Structure 1
Amino acid sequence: MSVQKAIAVVELAQPIRLIERPVPKPGPGEVLVKVSIAGREYLYCYVNPNLRSRLIGVVEQKNVTDPLANSFVPPHAVNPHDVLVREIGYFVGKDNLPGVLAIDIVGEIIQLGQNVDNDNFKIGDRVMGQGDPSVSDTKGSQEYAVLDADFIAHLPSAVSPDQADTIILNPLTSYVALFSPLGLDIPSPLDGAKTDFDYHRTSIVIIGGSSACGRFAIQLSKWVGMGTVVTVAGKHGESVLKSLGATHVIDRSIPDEDIQRQVRNIVGDDLLYVIDCNNRADHTPGIRMLSNAKKGTIVPLAAARPNTVDEAKIGPKQQGYNFKKFVCRPVLFRETAAQFYKALTQLIDHGVLKPTPFQVIEGLDADKINAQLDRWRDGQWPPRVNIHVS
């Protein structure tokens, strides 16, 4: 077992191909997994205007056809991660080809590296985990992958393996945005420390609540008992978002001024927390929602984009405001990510985190995967794909 099959980007802006590459070996603190399912997530990111025109011209014209997948799509660049890997080498880099795809992984542990706690993970365990978008050995469109033992969890019993594969990257992103110093820095119940933080009296606004990250941010806000969870999203998804924990849903299609007015009618001048899951460059509207008398924080999740704020239009922020952003790579915040993945199985089994829609491609089928990437590139926006590798 020294060589394996993999789907990879071999040449930028060309179809991905089925190749052979070495089976990686787990290093200290890593496990080798026989991949069962490789999931492919959407990722908001910035690309330069020429690439934007080539990759997402249809989306710029709002020519989208799947209302569920696009209930959150703004008139800016919203791209599946792996389209940009294929087209421009995003994360992978042109000097690191071939580049394997997919970072949400379900599989079976077949080898333990040094220093892996045998009390937590054993050979034969079925696990779910996140690869590193920059490291092909850790990615899922291949028969075997190495995963950091801090970033895996046992498969839950309450959902299917396919459903579990949809609850890996995006909920971590939302968790970091809510509970890490990189984000809003709200105390997390997973910290185990006593806190006098009053969740019930806390209000939060989640812009783009119908996105995957938006949905998980709503669910996690409900989990800690936040009293007011306002989301800006498509009104046709209101019932779903309220079932996940939103207390108020504001129609994203109305003018920004009307959205801000409705937010203030709900929370007054007490809002300290905003998460923006939309791929907008201008964060003036979100900052305007924040309290004028107290220092609030906004966390945009489109970390790869440059950001602009019109300071003349944000209102009299007497105490200023915090603007935080991060890239969701667990190695950059190991302690927080490890804390989350240690609790992930229980969070799913207890119904805190619920799966998102998906469709399946059987096998490492380059033609079908290319066709799916083309559909995303062309703005047709099907649900995320789970590749059944084995």
Structure 2
Amino acid sequence: MSTQKALYVPSKHAPFQLGEAPIYTPGPKEILVKIISSALNPVDWKIPAYGIFVENFPAILGSDLAGVVEEVGSEVSKFTKGDRVLFQGWFGDNKYAGFQQYTLVEAELAAKLPDNISFDQAASVPSALTVVILTNFNHNPTAPTANFTAPWEEGGKTKYAGKPAFIVGGSSSVGQYAIQVAKYSGYSPIITTASLHNEVLLKSLGATAVVDRKLPASAIISEVQKLAGNKPIEYVFDTVSIADTQSLAYDVLAPGGTLLILLNDEIPAEKKNAADNKRIVHGFGSARVSQNREVGVQLFSRLTEWLETGVIVPNQVEVLPNGLAGIPDGLERLKQDKVSGKKLVAHPQETP
């Protein structure tokens, strides 16, 4: 059996370790992809540090991927060998994960790369954009979703036009896509918090105004309300979702509005008043699970065009040295909050 290099978490709480994995055979509806670029996410350091999400070891992580189709399953007609693709990996099953040189993906959950997008840029897109799309637009009643009308659906580009949006953490990877999706949906103005050195970037993506995230919460709330022209802010997306940012986001949210968060609800109980009718949606970002699959397939069927036309602009990236071997140091930088406004990317094929 042919083998490849892979980066493992050997056991719960254990440090990463390089090893070997088999090169997988695609099922009828799957494609085998030679991974060129694999992007890093905060969850990739949190899994070994906190012992969360993964119970089967040794485990391969990594969920933001771009590469070249190596082999297609017998029922796949959408792709052929040599196609450039991007897709979301899955760290619940090693053969679908990203911190290795080859992986599998179901063809309906992958998209072709347009010529204007590099592998590195493409690897910044899948997971962050997927969680934004799923949390906003999934219509499955069993899914954690705001159930908003999507911009590709009838009325979706006008329904929210002229309504203010507030996005906490605009320079994060999810934050950058949240800004772009809010723009695509017609929200205006789009106000975000970030370090001010990222202001030009975020305005280029669609933000109307950037508020310094280092200001006291009371000053941020006052500034956001002023920038919104004192209109009620009924759409808030906290892409950071720690206790302090959730509290800030909840305070900005108008009665009857919706707050999207990505981690467990840590809003103090004393802030919550049932009469305010503030809805909190805790998003979950895998297109692979059954409750999310329909909208995930819709997303990946449209993604090539969005990237080609600039509806979606990838994150800025920094490439790590030494392929898979460089990932642990990159994850440590994420853990220490030493990355701002860009995505760290590894090249698995360059592993020593």
TM over 0.5: yes
Gaps of 5+ in 2: none
Q: Hey, which bits of structure 1, 4+ residues long, moved more than 6 A? A: none
| 1:149-228 → structure 2 map (5 Å cutoff) | 149-181=107-139, 182-191=144-153, 193-194=154-155, 197-228=158-189
The letter of the residue matching 1:289 is V
Shift of 1:197: 4.2
| 1:302-341 → structure 2 map (5 Å cutoff) | 302=263, 305-311=264-270, 313=271, 318=275, 320-332=277-289, 333-341=292-300
Contact residue 130 and residue 296 of structure 2 kept, 8 A: yes
The letter of the residue matching 1:175 is I
Contact residue 269 and residue 290 of structure 1 kept, 8 A: no
The separation in 1 between residues aligned to 2:31 and 2:48, in whole angstroms, is 27
Residue 98 (1) aligns with residue 58 (2): yes
The separation in 2 between residues aligned to 1:364 and 1:196, in whole angstroms, is 41
The separation in 1 between residues aligned to 2:319 and 2:173, in whole angstroms, is 18
* Match of residue 27 from structure 1: 27
CA, structure 1 residues 236+359, in 2 after alignment: closer, same or farther (shift >3 Å)? Answer: closer
**Is the partner of 2:243 in helix, strand or coil?**
coil
Contact residue 183 and residue 324 of structure 1 kept, 8 A: yes
The letter of the residue matching 1:168 is P
Residue 137 (1) aligns with residue 99 (2): no
Q: What are the superposed Cα offsets for residues 316-370 of structure 1, whole Å, 9 maximum, x if unpaired? A: 774512111122111230011111111111111111222223222455453x333
Shift of 1:278: 1.6
| 1:30-179 → structure 2 map (5 Å cutoff) | 30-41=30-41, 80-93=42-55, 96-116=56-76, 118=77, 120-179=78-137
Q: TM-score, normalised by structure 1?
A: 0.79
For these two proteins, the number of residue pairs brought into alignment is 340
The separation in 1 between residues aligned to 2:328 and 2:156, in whole angstroms, is 49
Most deviating of 318-327 and 150-159: 318-327
Contact residue 162 and residue 189 of structure 2 kept, 8 A: yes
Query: Match for 2:247 among 279, 284, 295?
Result: 284
Shift of 1:275: 0.5
The separation in 2 between residues aligned to 1:201 and 1:375, in whole angstroms, is 39
Shift of 1:245: 0.9
CA, structure 1 residues 210+159, in 2 after alignment: closer, same or farther (shift >3 Å)? Answer: same
Q: TM-score, normalised by structure 2?
A: 0.87
The percentage of counterpart residues that share the same residue type is 30
The separation in 2 between residues aligned to 1:218 and 1:101, in whole angstroms, is 27
**Is the partner of 1:87 in helix, strand or coil?**
helix
The separation in 2 between residues aligned to 1:291 and 1:377, in whole angstroms, is 33
Shift of 1:284: 3.4
| 1:267-278 → structure 2 map (5 Å cutoff) | 267-278=229-240
Contact residue 127 and residue 286 of structure 2 kept, 8 A: no
Contact residue 61 and residue 90 of structure 2 kept, 8 A: no
Instruction: Specify which structure has the bigger relative contact order, considering alpha-carbon pairs within 8 angstroms and separated by 6 or more residues.
Output: 1
